[in-house]
Amino acid sequence: MEGSVSSPVRAEVGTMAIDAAMDSQSDSKLKYVIIFGAPLIAGVALYWYMRRRKGNALSKNSAGSSGVQKSDTRAVSQKKVDEQMKSQKERATGYKDKGNRFFRNNRFKAAIESYSEGIKVCPVNETEMLSIFYQNRAASYEKLQMFDNVIQDCNKAIELNKRYSKAYLRRAKAWEQRGELRKCLEDATFSCMINDFKDEQALQLVDKMLKLFGAQQAKEIYHQRKPSLPSSPYIRNFLRSFSEDPVILDLNAKRNNVPQQKSHMPPSGYDLALQDLQDEIWDAVEAHCSEEIEKDQNKEKVDKALILRAGFSLITGKVTEAMKDVENLLSRENVDIKVRVNGLIKKATVELHFEKTEEALATFQKAVDLDPNNADIYLHRGQVYLLLDQLDQTVKNFATASFLKPDFVSPNVQLAYTEYRAGTRFNDRAQQNAGRKKFNECLKKFPNDSEVLFLYAQLMMGLEKYDSAEKYLNELIEIHPQDSAGFVHLGIIALQARKDIRGAVALMKTAIENDPKCQLAYETLGTLYIQTGQMVEGIALLDKGIAMAQTEAEIAHLIGLKTTAEIQMSASKKFGTEVPLFSVPLAVN
């Protein structure tokens, strides 16, 4: 158990003095000084006043003698008080040592009794010792799983010493047992900050709570909020990740004016949904798919409407509805194999959302068994392996997809990026070179593609080749001016390369003006504001980013950033500049 606190304690003792005075069980003689101290002093003053008047009738020698006697009496009185205080402190120390012995021998109830006696006799001005008593008693309560008592005693210890890191950490663990994740996170973070982030136990608890609290809050937010469509670039990227989806093939044929079978009937719901996709009237797609499904007049179009509606349900956060459409499709007979495989890919995506990773991988395997040469399967499965940090499997799947469909941009450029980053991570020069070579091929083959330009710019940023990164980002913006991610990353370069905060803020604001649904812009600008001390503005932007996030994982990440900033604000109020504050990393993704 603890015997001292390394840092000086600055706490008011008035309340503790009253508590000691009102404690009828206490045998502390100090309480009589507290209660009767003022009348006693007044009585002494009156006594000396009367003595002085009487002394005026005496000789000067007598007056001199009286002055010496007065001084001696005061000295004796102060000495008695000092001895009394010393005696009380010694008694308290004895109780503390006794309690520590009981604790070491697992006699926790006896330890609690000893610490309680120590608290009764400890002089109220010995705030350091009192704080240790409360913290040690809290440790004993913790062993008995009496967590309410732990919290109460840690509260007392912290009142006496606001920098008592052990008390914060012990209270954090009690909050964890009570399921109070936010309070646990805050106390564990305070403990880390006081110890200059050198306490591994506290750091691990902070990391654990950030994940748990973020996930808890994300789940609540995700399921309670009204579903909404993401930004146009997000939808475009989602659609382009399916090169063998019959819906996308129909859309491309429509865009290329490929002659269609003439019909004297008005356009069906599915036909109208295709027109919506072409015109990017995203919010009309689902209704037109529903029209096709409800009329049920053309089986082929109903099947395609089901997978299209499932996809839009996925990106708007309606995963349960997406699964219903997919299961409906998979239960139907005589479904085109490409349509069925697309349904399986989306089923695996839903399973992954519900953290059913093994089921998702099994569903992907079913798709492979049905259509082993379908590049879409390997692209999406590779992305799952990337999330699982299984880079060998990621590279293998991306390579298979790009081999099966050499003109499919996404697996080609994602293979290049993954190979290069994996080579850098594992110091594998051969893999780095393979990734670099693949990137050069992509730049030649797909020179105007937004995904190629964006990922290559990111690669250059990682290598701190900012001039090259800016070149490709500017090309991206020129070709695709509505893609706000380019502006965000130009802002990050302005910060990293030139420390140009004003320029970075302007670029990120441009990204938001360009695309009010750009989650990355809100996240990055919010983080920048937090780093520059504009905490309220930064947190407000993170809230907007949370509203735009499309997955629970994205929401959890943003909740973590926001909570970190809020705790930093709380720490600044509590500790001022007495503890190091942590920085929130800028998003680069």
Q: Cite the residue boundaries of each domain of the chain with CATH code 1.25.40.10.
A: 14-169, 232-372
Say what the pLDDT of residue 257 is. 83
Say what the pLDDT of residue 36 is. 31
Say what the pLDDT of residue 43 is. 36
> Counting beta carbons within 10 angstroms of the beta carbon of residue 47, is it exposed (0 to 12), middle (13 to 18) or buried (19 or more)?
exposed
Q: Give the pLDDT confidence of 123-154 residue by residue, as tens digits.
A: 999 999 999 999 999 999 999 999 999 999 99
CB 420 within 8 A of CB 459: yes
Say if pTM beats, i.e. exceeds, 0.85.
no
CATH architecture of 232-372: Alpha Horseshoe (1.25)
Residue 496 has pLDDT above 70, yes or no: yes
Residue 9 has pLDDT above 60, yes or no: no
> Counting beta carbons within 10 angstroms of the beta carbon of residue 428, is it exposed (0 to 12), middle (13 to 18) or buried (19 or more)?
middle
105 token code pair = 């021998």
| Nearest 10 degrees: Cα torsion 508, 514, 516, 522 | -10
Measured in degrees and rounded to the nearest 5, phi and psi for residue 25 equal -85, -15
Give dist(CA 315, CA 12) in Å, integer.
56
CATH number corresponding to 14-169: 1.25.40.10
The rounded percent of the chain whose pLDDT value lies above 90 is 77
CB 250 within 8 A of CB 292: no
Running DSSP on this structure, what letter comes out for residue 320?
Answer: H
Give the pLDDT band of residue 425 (cuts 50, 70, 90).
very high
Q: What share of the chain is helix, strand, coil (3-state, %, to 5)?
A: 75, 0, 25
Give dist(CA 198, CA 192) in Å, integer.
7
Give the pLDDT band of residue 585 (cuts 50, 70, 90).
low
Cα angle 8-10-15, degrees, rounded to a multiple of 5:
140
Report which of 185, 128, 123, 119 is spatially closest to residue 152, judged by C-alpha positions: 119
Q: How many C-beta neighbours within 10 Å does residue 327 have? A: 14
| Nearest 10 degrees: Cα torsion 421, 426, 430, 431 | -30
